[in-house]
Structure formats: C-alpha cells, structure tokens
Structure 1
Amino acid sequence: MWKVVIVDDDEKVLRGMKKIIPWQELDCEWIGEARDGEEGFALIKQLNPDIVISDIYMPVKNGIEMIKQLRENHYDGKIVILSGYSEFEHARQAVRLRIDDYLTKPASIDTIRSVFSAIVEQLEEDQMNSVQVAELREKVKLYEPLIEKEWLKSLITGTVDHNHIPPAVKSMISKWDDQDHVILTIVYDQQLEQSKLYQSDWYLFRFAAGNIIRETTERYEESYQYVELHSHQAVICLHFDKDKQEEIKNKLYQLAGALEASLKIYLSVDVTVNVGGIKSDWFEIAQSLREASSKNNHHSLGDSDELLLQTTEGKRTIWSESMEANQKLSEAIRYADETSARQIIDEYFSKVDQQSYQSALAMQIGIELWTIMTYSLYDIGIRIDDMFDESLDIYQEINTIQSWDALSNLIKEKIVTICHHQQWDENLKHRQLVEQMIDFVQNRLNENITLQDLADELYISRNYLGQIFKKIVGESFKNYLTRIRMEKAKKMIQEGNYLIYEVSEKVGYVNPAYFTTTFKKYTGYTPTELIHRKLTNT
C-alpha cells in the first residue's frame, strides 16, 4: 500500500483527513502525522512515505521551508499542498519545489478522491517505469555475455558487420587497436565420439575441454578469447602488444603443443592445433582463421617474418573450413529455418561441384554436416535420433552416394525432416508437456513462477520449452501466465472476500503496486476502480 504522512497544525484537519480519505479504496495507508514543518521533516526523513500532504502556514517551520529542505535532501515522493484559498498564490510559487497537486480547505470527498487517485496513478506509473528500467538493466546484464559471444563468433568467422559494434563488446575491443592478433584452431580427431566422457555427457565434455584449453592458454598469454565453432572445432583468438611479435612466435609453438598434450593427457582425445597468420588489424581476424583452417599447416612457421600458414584456395573444400557457412547452418537448424538451411547447402555444393567427386571426401563432408545438425539440435534440448527411424544409418546412406548432387539432396532431405518435425502440430509428447506446464501453473499460481522453474521441473531447456508452449497454446508463456493471473484476480476482487494486497499475493505478486499496474495494463482499470464499479452497480 502507498504510505501517507500528513503535516498540519490544525487538529481538526488531521482528524478530518483520517476519517474522510477512502484509504482502502485508494490502496493507501496513514503512517504518521506532524504539527509543524520541523517535526514533519524529521518524520518524513524517518518513514520515507510515498505521499506527503502538508499545510503551508505552521509554527516553527512553514510548509514551503519544509518542502524545500526535503527536496534538498533528495526526497522524491509525491507532495500535495493543503491550503486555504487566501494562500493559493503562495502555493503556486511552490511549483519550483515539484509540488504534485494541491487541496484547498475545506476539500470535498470527491476532490480528495480525485487528487489522491491522480497521485496514486502517477506513483504506479513511476514504479512501473522503475521496474521496467530495472528489468531492462538485468536483461542487459544477462544478455551481455551472449551478445559478446555471438559477436565474437561472427567476427572470427567473417560474418560480422564492422559498421555496427554493440555497446556490450566495446570494452572488450578497446585495446585491440594497439595489439596484433592471431587465431589458433583446435580440431578434434574423427575418433572423438569414442571418448568415454564424450559419450556419457556431451555438456560435461565441453566444460572439461574448455577449462583445460583456458588454463593451458593462460600460462602463455593473458589476452585471449576461447570460442566453440561446432562440435569438432574450437578456436583461440590471441591478442598481444605489437612489439612482441618475435616473442609470440615462440609462444605459439609451445602453446600449440601444450594444448594437444593437455587434451590427450586429461581427456584422452586427439586434437590438431593449427595457427593462422598474425594480423595487425582486428578486422582481419577472420583471415587468420581461414589461414589456420587451411590444410598442411600444423603449427608451423614459414621463412618470412610473419606466419605463413596458408594453402591454395582450391584445397579448402572440407565443410569445417567454411566457418561462415558452418555458423549459418547451425543457426538455421536451431530455428527450424528450412529455406535458409537448404540455401546454405545449395551455395556450398555449387562450389564443391567444381571439382571431381571423391567418395572419401564426400563421406567426410556428409558426416561433418550431420554432426553440425546433431549438436545444433542438442544445444536446444532435441535429440536428432528422435526425429528419424531407428533403422537410419547415415554412414551407409552417404556411402551409397555417387555424386555431389546426390549428397546435397540427401542432406536437404534430412533438413526437411528436421524442420517439419519441429512444427510439433501432431506431436502428442509436446501436448502432454504443455498440459504438465498448465497444471504446474494452476497449482502454484501464488508463487513467483518463471519459465526456467518449469524447465528445471521438466528437465528440458528453457528456450525449447518456450517454443513448444507458444506453438501449442498460441501465445508466449509469459503472456499466458499474466492472463491467467489477471483473470483470477479479477474474479477474486469481484467476489469481495479479499483486500487488494491479499489478491496480489494469491496470484503471485509480492509487490501490490506492481500488481496494480499490471492489472490496469491488462484490464484497462485499477483494482480500486473495479471495486468502485461493483459498488456502483449494486
């Protein structure tokens, strides 16, 4: 409830205001009174009310002086002047002190209700704005790491828009203009799937591998980023002072060997670490990746002063070496974007088709594509095995292919199956999942329910769960939850058995003011106005 303090030296006015103000209807409560400006200042400073009603002419310190002192001490609450008609000009002069409204003595109940309603509405709007700003700040904090990660991946793979740099990454790149840069690629052996940790828990494997790579890298260079490109490849982007290029060459030798040895010792997996060319401009980081992804460049230095780790463009045919296409395909699969995924495959194979068909190369490309799609789905909680018949043998299907066109068509067939399977329309399992979500909401409506709570309860990723719910129900989980809460609140208010703050708690809102604001946004009127309508109609 909104807290109110009244400052007036007239005992009759104090008693009258206490009696005639419809406190419950306005969702307000009287928390204190004072009889002069000095006493009022001390009380307001102690209790910090939302609303102050003050007379002007009082002993010891008048209302204007008290208000001036409050504003100087950063009191931001609402202030209503209570004055006689003869003092009106004096009251008008107080505008510079941010007086929110005034009441002339004597004030009718309708006038008091009108002024208070306007003040409460301002408070609710201010609080909503404050909550929205706070939520926005939290979202920014939450998404900053994700924005940084995705922007960095785009920079490394060559898909970034250099004309648009998100504010979240500006602190990261602030030193880059004075540094040189180089990419190291970490490519897992094709036998990776045989690792026991990999087989038992893919997420745990990623966590363990990431920690080993970071700890190893930090022994050689502090300024770096570690980025996973897909299931079989990750990169390290190193930054170092421009006058340390000779020194860094030796470190790159050592770091590459140390990474291979550490992953072999601790995780029993074989990796190949390749090094790209050193770049003086961070805009060219993607070029360093392309050089590191070229074949026959296993952490070796050329004869010149810079790293010469590139081969001819014609040899770069393996899918994993096409980082831009890799990232685009992964995103298309995660969003079930069939059109984009098919287009990416067509564009890639239009280049591959320029060379003669090789069965071994086709097998490698096909398996890499299948792996990318598998783990793109796995990251959002979907098992690709659940989308295909148990008899599917992707290796055998690729092995029977005799041309690049046939391989392209096979991959696109799998993409169609994946994307259409994600439409969920006839998927009983998803409908049962949504029914569980609705039951959860109905049983715990008085709790602070979030989609993450449901995801934890049902052992499924939050994003995937949100997609399922919206597809089946036709609205987002957030909108559904608000609608159910507001409809129940409306019913409870109309029944008249609960106070507004009790209704707020019973539908999951700890803060009654935020509940009131949400209620008005949903229904078009406040809970108090709904009560008044009910009383008027009876």
Structure 2
Amino acid sequence: MEVFQEPIEYQNPILCLKIWQLVNDGIEYPIDWIWHFHKPVEFILVEQGRLDVHIPDRVYHLKAGESCVIGSSQLHFGRKISEEKLVYHVLHVDLQAYLDSAMQMYYRVFMEIDRSLDSLNDFMEHHAGINREIECIFADIYKEMNERTKGYEIATSIHVKRLMLTLLRHDRRGLLERQDTSDAQLLLPILTYVDMHLGDKIELQNVSDLAHMSYSYFSKFFKKTMGVSFTEYVNQKRIQKAERLLLTENWSITNIAEDVGYENMAHFYKMFKRYNGCTPKEFVSKLRKV
C-alpha cells in the first residue's frame, strides 16, 4: 500500500488552517487512490455530488449537505463516485492553536488523547442539524480567508471555535466527554501559573509543591490528566507565545527566546522548528507572504 505524508501549507501560519473548494466535473476517481495523512485535522463538506472518504476500517459515503472529520495523522483518501459533478470544501486545521485558557479543560478532547475525532462521523454522516451548522461555519471561514477584510483573523478564530463548540454540543453519545473532569479542575491553578511565568525558570518541584503533590505523583497526574508531560506542555505554551511576539513586537529573536524562558538559543530553535517545521525567521517570512 502506497502511503505519503501530505504537506499542508497554511493560508495564514498564525491561524494554522487552510480551506479551499474543490470542483471535479470528470470521471470518478480510481479505487486504488493513494493513502495519505497529515498532522492537521481535516473536515470535509460536500456541496454537490458524492464522495466516499476511506479510512483503514471504514468508508463514509457523503452526499450533498453532508460532512465528516478525519483525525490528526489518520490514514485516509477520498474517492469521487459517479460522473456527476463533485463540489466540496476541505478544511485543514491544527486545533491546538485554538486551545486558549478558557478551553484548556477540553485539551484531551481536541488533542485526541482518548479517541480520534473521526469517532464522531457515525452521527455526523446523516445528522441534518449538525451538517447545516457546519455548512454555515465553513461558508463563514471560507469568506473570511478569501476576502481578508480588517479583523479577518479574529473572525476566523471565532468561527473555528464555533466549529469545536458545535461538535461538543451535538455529541449526544458522550464521545467528546472530558475525562477526569474533577482532576482537571485541580490543575487550573497550575495552568494559570504556567501562563504567568513563561519567561521564568519553571521548576517541576516548585509546581508540584504548588499542587500539594509529590514530584513523582504530580508528573504522572499531569500527564494522565492532560495527555502530555508537564515539560511538553510548558514548551508548547512558550512556543505559542514566541509566535505571538514574532508577529507583534519588533524584538530580536534572542530577546524573544529569553522572554519565553529559553536561555539556550539552540534549544529555542530546536523547539520552534519542532512545533512549526521552520525557523522563527521563516515563520515571519511566510506570514508576510499571506
């Protein structure tokens, strides 16, 4: 089986998404389509025609007005059915970019720690209500990203969060229920502390004392509750802040690295490239081309 990792070039790196419309008037796609995957979650909405979306153990048969979601790094391919004209929208989005402080309790849900988001497709495929809402949200995102009027970044962020909220509120089966809700509440002071001290040296021992837990228990508790290690979480938050500073402040990269808690520049560059696939300068350069 031929498989490849599809590179996703975001329309705006800070928004971490790409949305476009595909139109196919030709014959149906062959059955031996190439399997592929990518880190961003993929949403598909069919406007006209029929499209089969394959994942390794399922096929979702979409017709006009229906949608589906493909989880992060999930193998998949789409196949046009019949010679009828096919029109559909595809949205690639890194949901982690939208998990602000108010949404941290849903970190496990949208980072797919417990289950892939494509578990929602069983009720999305033939659920007229959620598909109508997704269709409206897609139209809003597509309009904002193409017209790019003043404040389109804010509007697009709002619409992506509307999409996440729509999934949560239509989840009648509890597939997106937060795991260990009471445990997650215990971490709120820790998450706030991290946000306020990104420029400082954050010692795991000090944080575990703040949580009134032993060092080893806190380390296990945090990873179990959040789905990532404490160190990984801090690095994610630091790089997210560095991205904002690169776009809003006329600072040197050295000053930005220091402001988000990296004294070692080599380590900062390593972490930045790990999360963005490019250097800080390349990140800014990409955004200026948008």
TM-score normalised by length of structure 2: 0.36
Structure with the higher fraction of residues in helix conformation: 1
Between Structure 1 and Structure 2, whose CA radius of gyration is higher?
1
Q: TM-score, normalised by structure 1?
A: 0.20
